[in-house]
Amino acid sequence: MVESDEELPLHQNPKWKKHSVTSYLVSLVSVFVTQFAFTLLPLFLPTASFLTLLPLSAVLLLVVVGFGRICKRVAGVRASAPAFVFLTIFFIWTVYLSVIRRAISSLVDIVYNIEMIIVIIGLYRIMSLDPGFVTHNSSGHDLFVQSPLAEVDSQGKVFAAHRSAKYCKYCKNYVLGFDHHCPAFGNCIGQRNHVLFIVLLVGFVLSEASYVGCASQFTAKSQTLNEDGREEIKTSRNLVIGTMLFCLIQVLWQVVFILWHVYCACSNIKTDEWINWEKYPEFKEKVISHAGQEHSGPQFTNPYDKGIVMNLKEFLIAK
């Protein structure tokens, strides 16, 4: 009905926006500024507990993001979000290889490096894989962009036969099973890459949690070595604590994000549909009062909900 699931070269993929060299340089500078800012927390608050530093680092991250937006408006340049993600991963990995690795066992070292390689491969895949674009020359284009058709199950309950493709204003294309546009990955999340998206988020959480564990071991060992007051050890320790705080913040919001998408999969609903359900007629249910009069506003109904088992099956085998 539509073109087969395939990986498109980045320069041919219609959703891939070419960024200038300036954007990549801004991304590189943003990564260093962000990580430097996190390193300042243990530097200026050396006696503060980790639980004290964590909320402060969250506030600091918001300040850095706000500062970046101000610079974008003033200077007229913007960073590439996918490049920022890639460069941040390599920065964290570099800190691990150059500083933390010597305090970690060989087995843990092998596991962590494998995790990082898998995350990078998954990140490339999610950026380059077609999420389910419906092009004008695709067979079935009119079917997918029109309103969903209805079908009735054996119990007489009405379901929607298929989802209409939703339009993404960033990719400027219709996307099957459109969930949301992910700026961090530079791609839409749709029918063909939604499962990969959740798996990749789990990979991020596991690799970041592993980094936090390895960094904790390093800081514990460096605490005893730091008694002689060597500046090199202090600097390394502050850098590790800063990156550890950054990773822990990422873990916290990514876990919430994973839980949300698992809920959506179990309910057979997309993020865009949940937020903008009033825009889509199939989610509106007219409520009639006992007096026979229609209520002032429609109520939400999910025509795609077929029960958790069927919803998950449909989500996992979607193509």
pLDDT tier, 136 (very low <50, low <70, confident <90, very high otherwise)? low
pLDDT tier, 1 (very low <50, low <70, confident <90, very high otherwise)? very low
pLDDT of 287 above 50: yes
Q: Which distant-in-sequence residues (6+ apart) come within 8 Å of 155 by Cβ?
A: none
Question: Residue 77 and residue 64: Cα distance in Å, rounded?
Answer: 16
Amino acid 116 reads M
Highest mean pLDDT among 163-172, 203-212, 224-233: 203-212
Give yes or no for a contact between 211 and 112, defined as CB atoms under 8 angstroms apart: yes
Neighbouring C-alpha atoms within 13 Å toward the C-beta of 307:
4
pLDDT tier, 296 (very low <50, low <70, confident <90, very high otherwise)? low
Give yes or no for a contact between 79 and 26, defined as CB atoms under 8 angstroms apart: yes
pLDDT of 82 above 80: yes
pTM confidence score: 0.83
CA distances from 113 to 93, 151, 202, 217, 266 (A): 8, 49, 16, 17, 33
Percent pLDDT > 70 in the chain is: 79
- pLDDT for res 242: 95
Give yes or no for a contact between 39 and 239, defined as CB atoms under 8 angstroms apart: yes
Q: How far apart are the first and last CA of the chain?
A: 11
- pLDDT for res 153: 44
